[in-house]
Amino acid sequence: MTDMAPHGGSKAANKRVKFIIGGAVIAVAILYLIFTATQSTASYFLTVEELYGKGSSIYDRNVRVSGKVVGESVDFNSRELILHFEIAGESGETVPVFFNGPKPDQMRHDAEAIIQGTYDGNQFTAQELLLKCPSRYEESGFTEEKVEAVR
């Protein structure tokens, strides 16, 4: 764009440089924020097989794992709100899950579960459970049920 300013050209150009530098500084700062926040908050979304495939590299890191609830493994102590269950991947491999919170209504055999929390090599400690059942309302939709652990 050409300079349309009625007054001195070099002064206006100088000013424009200032504005461009200012804008660039802001843009870089925001990109830096996005970058660091992505790094610190992103968590893997894994299948059971992928969880085992990652080995110790993801121990104690916040991850999400999806799998199907193994019905007979569900054990709930309602007084203490302690829930144990297993989820299975497509190959049938299972992960034992510990959750301190209420048992979701949809916690039944073969329900699709997405658990969020940490895996220590033996057991997955879930902070949040999300259960999905195929919706009757949208062909591609789900009804979801989310429960959080006691904090």
Partner 1 sequence: MANVGYVALLLALVLSIYAAIAALVGARRQMPALVLSARNAALAVTGLLTLAVIVLEYLLISGDFRTLYVAEVSNRAMPIFFKMTALWGSQAGSLLFWSWLMSLFGGAVLLRKWGNMRTLMPYVIVVTQFTLAFFVSLISGVWTLLAGPLGSLGVTGTAELLADMATINPFHQLGFTPADGNGLNPLLRHWGMIIHPPMLYLGFVGFVIPYAFAIAALATRQTGDLWIRTTRRWTLIAWLFLSMGLLLGAWWAYGVLGWGGYWAWDPVENAALMPWLAGTAFLHSVMIQERRGMFKVWNMVLIILTYSLVIFGTFLTRSGVISSVHTFAQSGIGPLFLGFISVMFTASVVLLFDRLDCLKSENELDSMLSREAIFLLQNLLFLAILFVTFWGTIFPVVSELVAGQKAIVGPPFFNQVNGPLFAALVVLMGVALLMPWRRASRQKLARLLLWPTVAGLAVTVILFALGIRKFAILPGTETHVLPVSLFYGIATFAAVITLLEFWRGMRARHRSTGKSYPSALWTLFGRNRRRYGGYLIHIGVIMIALGVIGTQFFQVETQRNLAVGESLTITSPLTGEYSLMYKGLESLPAPEDVNRTGATLAVSRGGRDIGQMNPTHDFFIPQQQPMTIPAMRYSLIEDLYVIVAGWEDGGATATFKAYVNPLVNWLWIGGLVFILGTAVAAWPDPAEDRRHALAGAPGRVVPA
- Of 94-123, binders to partner 1 (CB under 8 A) are 101-103, 105-106, 114
The residue (of 41 and 122) whose beta carbon lies closer to partner 1 is 41
Contact region for partner 1 (CB under 8 A) — 90-98, 118-126, 132-140? 132-140
Q: Is 75 in the site for partner 1 (CB under 8 A)?
A: no
Provide the residue count of the chain. Answer: 151
Question: Per the structure block, which two tokens stand in for 47?
Answer: 């299948």
The residue (of 80 and 122) whose beta carbon lies closer to partner 1 is 80
Contact region for partner 1 (CB under 8 A) — 21-29, 88-96, 118-126? 21-29
Contact status, residue 85 vs residue 73, Cβ threshold 8 Å: yes
- Of 34-73, binders to partner 1 (CB under 8 A) are 34, 36-38, 40-46, 50, 64, 66
CA end-to-end distance (rounded Å), the chain: 58
Give the residue from 120, 110, 71 showing the smallest Cα distance to 90: 110
DSSP state of 64: E
Place of tokens 């908050």: 41
Backbone angles phi, psi at 150, to 5 degrees: -65, 135
DSSP state of 150: -
- Site of interaction with partner 1 (CB under 8 A): 1-5, 12, 15-16, 18-19, 22-23, 26-27, 30, 32-34, 36-38, 40-46, 50, 64, 66, 78-81, 101-103, 105-106, 114, 132, 135-143, 145-148, 150-151
